[in-house]
A = this chain, B = another copy of it.
Amino acid sequence: MAPITSDVRLLGEGFSPTDQLATFNAAHPEAGGIVSFLGQVRSEGGAQAVEALELRHYAAMTLPGMEALAAATKARWVLDGLLIIHRYGVMHPGDPIVLVAAAARHRRDAFAAADFAMDHLKSQSWFWKREKTAAGWRWIEPRADDHRDLARW
């Protein structure tokens, strides 16, 4: 069996999730199933609408942490490939923030791996987020949901 490939990237510039996914799909013809998660900056109207979002990272820890998560994910499920792309910097509504894709022979492995990676990216990765609304910039505190999600694994 060929070694499992994984591709983990921390990007300061925008990316095209569908181009990235097309490349990933093409690289894994042996996989019966590919699950992907795309997280994007929500477009919504109203006074509470987010006009911009900034994610800050810490060079010494954020990407190494993502790589450790990828290794843990691959160790836990039988995968053919794993892709994790995460943005940092200032983003606007509609911009992609995170793309995770897992390719596997069996559907259940692909779903669980993508779900696991997302729960850990959301709650344990070294990102700090602030949002800009009509009221100005505001730092976002961790959500209780994120910790509940993590307790599932």
What are the interface flags for A68-108 relative to B under an 8 Å C-beta threshold, 1 for contact and 0 otherwise? 00000000000000000000000001100000000001111
A145 neighbours in B (Cβ, 8 Å): 106
Number of chain copies forming the complex: 2
A114 neighbours in B (Cβ, 8 Å): 35, 111
The tally of residues in A whose CB lies under 8 Å from a CB in B reads: 35
What are the interface flags for A26-51 relative to B under an 8 Å C-beta threshold, 1 for contact and 0 otherwise? 00011111111111101110000000
23 A-B interface contacts by CB (under 8 A): A18-B19, A18-B21, A29-B42, A29-B93, A29-B94, A31-B40, A32-B39, A32-B42, A33-B38, A33-B39, A33-B40, A34-B40, A35-B36, A35-B114, A36-B36, A36-B38, A37-B110, A37-B111, A39-B107, A42-B105, A106-B145, A108-B149, A111-B111
Binding site for B on A (CB under 8 A): 17-19, 21-22, 25, 29-40, 42-44, 93-94, 105-108, 110-111, 114-115, 118, 122, 145, 149
